[in-house]
Amino acid sequence: MEATTRHYLDYNATAPARPQARAAVAEALTLPGNPSSVHAEGRAARAIVEAARAEVAALVGAHPAQVTFTGSGSEANNLALSGPRPARLVVSAIEHASVLRPAAERPGAFALIPVTRDGIIDLAALEAILAEPAPSGPTLVSVMLANNETGVVQPVAEVIALARRAGALVHVDAVQALGRLPVAFNALGCDMMSLSAHKIGGPKGIGALVRRDGLSLAPLVAGGGQERSLRAGTENVPGIAGFGAAARAAGAELAEGREMARLGRLRDRIEAAVRKAGQDAVIVGAGAPRLPNTTCIALPGLKAETQVMAFDLAGIAVSAGSACSSGKVEPSHVLAAMDLGPEVTAGAVRVSLGFGSTDADADAFIEAWMALRGRMLGTADADASRRTAAST
């Protein structure tokens, strides 16, 4: 029996490892030294760590000394929220669980920023929240640069301006935007920014928190003086090396400019085919600025988990909601916050593209989506759906 060709359309969950990252990891694994050791082997390991730190910093317009390596983007988010020991946390309703859950553990000093139906942070609501009397101590505003489920890009510059006028700190979760949008940490003027390697083709299990000069943080992991005493424990040298290599490759793509335009064309072709098939499908956040690689498509009346399984059987990997729920397909808090209604919220899947995505991947998704919609509407409509797909 011939194996089904697989089409991987879940880059926002994790990107395949880039060849450059795999090579960097393999090379680093040959080194025996601890980066904290002063002998030649230790210095060689330290050189790899610092070279990678410089590559990651360059990708986000920061200085190498501002980059602290962590075990993940989620750890970076947790460090950002707890490190400055803020008296009040203000986060948007569409944040990743690694922001929402730590924030919700402080119910007496926690405010949630609503979003519009397009999935954009309500700036007027944020301004009103910041105008309210706050507990004694700093307020920290945490927002993502681009949403992981919808791809909607947030008005972070405006958020920072409002926060500055209120004397608040700002943390930006740039995990999904990294490598897909130009990011300039120091020019943007935020206080902290979270990053993750595996979203850009680096290894899993390595992230970073970028912080502005002079900002004091308390470590989550205490012990030795690694990472300028912000994260104790021997550094993950292979992971860090892979992160640096992936950052260098992603930066080259952004500078060249054609890759994101190519992915945008693929995304638009998928959406055009879906729209042409009928008015029942919903492109979530279509009226807002979005990442060029991401589309969230809802088919009201057909549960997302059913769609994900059907696509998988057809050889296509997509997601429903965030991929950080231990394999569970749960209702999306992001779509619920957008007030799109229960049928749209329950019936949305995310298609996310990346450096390995091709026309064949887009064609396969369109064909499978048309067949799925046809089965939902009845066999009489299935042939018409396939003809529509063929003409797109």
Distance CA 328, CA 161 (A): 38
State the burial class of residue 132 (Cβ atoms within 10 Å of its Cβ: 0-12, 13-18, 19+): exposed
Which amino acid is present at 356? G
Distance CA 91, CA 95 (A): 7
Helix (H) or strand (E) segment spanning residue 194: strand 192-196
- Angle CA(361)–CA(333)–CA(158) in degrees, nearest 5? 90
Active site residue 324: yes
SS3 172: strand
Q: From the candidates 324, 329, 371, 384, give the one annotated as an active-site residue.
A: 324
* Look-up of token digits 């002063």: 38
Q: What are phi and psi of 348, to 5 degrees?
A: -105, 140
Q: What are phi and psi of 30, to 5 degrees?
A: -80, -10
Contact of 322 with 99, CB cutoff 8 Å:
no
Q: Hey, which residues are catalytic here?
A: 324
